[in-house]
Amino acid sequence: MGENRTCPVRVFLSLGSNLGEKEKNISRAKELLKKKGIEIIKESSIYLTAPWGKKDQPWFLNQVIEVATSLPPEELLDLIKGIEKELGREKGEKWGPRIIDIDILFYGEKVINLPSLTIPHPYLHERAFVLIPLTEIAPEFVHPVLKRKAKELKEKVAEEEVKKWEEKNVV
């Protein structure tokens, strides 16, 4: 039997951009999510963050949003990939620069391990640029695998390369 589409699920998404008009890219991604029926419940501040994985590239703007959707996880992923493509994202090197990056961090309390989709996101507990904004909007949310609250996971990461974004910041 398929997923129940009538009951919205609490989902956390990470949005990031380090090419072009970064703040506008994030705003456009949120507009497209809403246009495609995804309800945005909460938004963190936007943060200026150092690149992760591949360091020799521009700094990112990152944000975490809580959304509600009735789409099953795989359909949500397809919708997100379509939005990334619509905004101009091209397949490039892993952890390389990008116009927009949208990751599914959590899909309710589900644990999913498919070739195309792993939820919870496999690296989120190592990433200050995810944990700081996540803790801002959902400090008590419990990671369904690690069984730790977002605020507890945040205590384990270095925060020096994550700053609240202000337009006067130079990127």
Find the CATH number of the domain harbouring 46: 3.30.70.560
pLDDT exceeds cutoff 60 at 123: yes
**CA gap 55, 70 in Å, rounded:** 37
pLDDT exceeds cutoff 90 at 47: yes
**CA gap 30, 84 in Å, rounded:** 11
Q: Note whether residue 131 is domain-resident.
A: yes
Domain limits at 141?
Answer: 9-164
Residue 169: pLDDT band (50, 70, 90) is low
Domain count, the chain: 1
Can you give the pLDDT at residue 168? 53
Q: Note whether residue 2 is domain-resident.
A: no
Q: Which residues are CB-contacts of 79 (< 8 A; sequence separation ≥ 6)?
A: 33, 36, 38, 71
Can you give the pLDDT at residue 54? 65
The beta strand positions in the chain, using DSSP E, are 9-17, 39-43, 47-49, 60-69, 101-107, 112-113, 118-119, 162-164
CA distances from 160 to 50, 67, 91, 128 (A): 9, 28, 29, 9
User: Which of 155, 133, 170, 144 shows the shortest CA–CA distance to 14?
Assistant: 133
Q: Note whether residue 1 is domain-resident.
A: no
pLDDT exceeds cutoff 80 at 66: yes
Q: Which residues pair with 107 in a beta bridge?
A: 11
Residue 92: pLDDT band (50, 70, 90) is low
Can you give the pLDDT at residue 157? 85
User: Which of 63, 78, 68, 14 shows the shortest CA–CA distance to 39?
Assistant: 68
pTM over 0.85: yes
Q: Note whether residue 51 is domain-resident.
A: yes
Q: Note whether residue 88 is domain-resident.
A: yes
Residue 136: pLDDT band (50, 70, 90) is very high
pLDDT exceeds cutoff 60 at 120: yes
Can you give the pLDDT at residue 53? 65
151-168 pLDDT, tens digit each: 999 998 877 788 888 765
Helix (H, G, I), strand (E, B) or coil at 6: coil
Residues taking part in catalysis? 89, 98, 101, 103
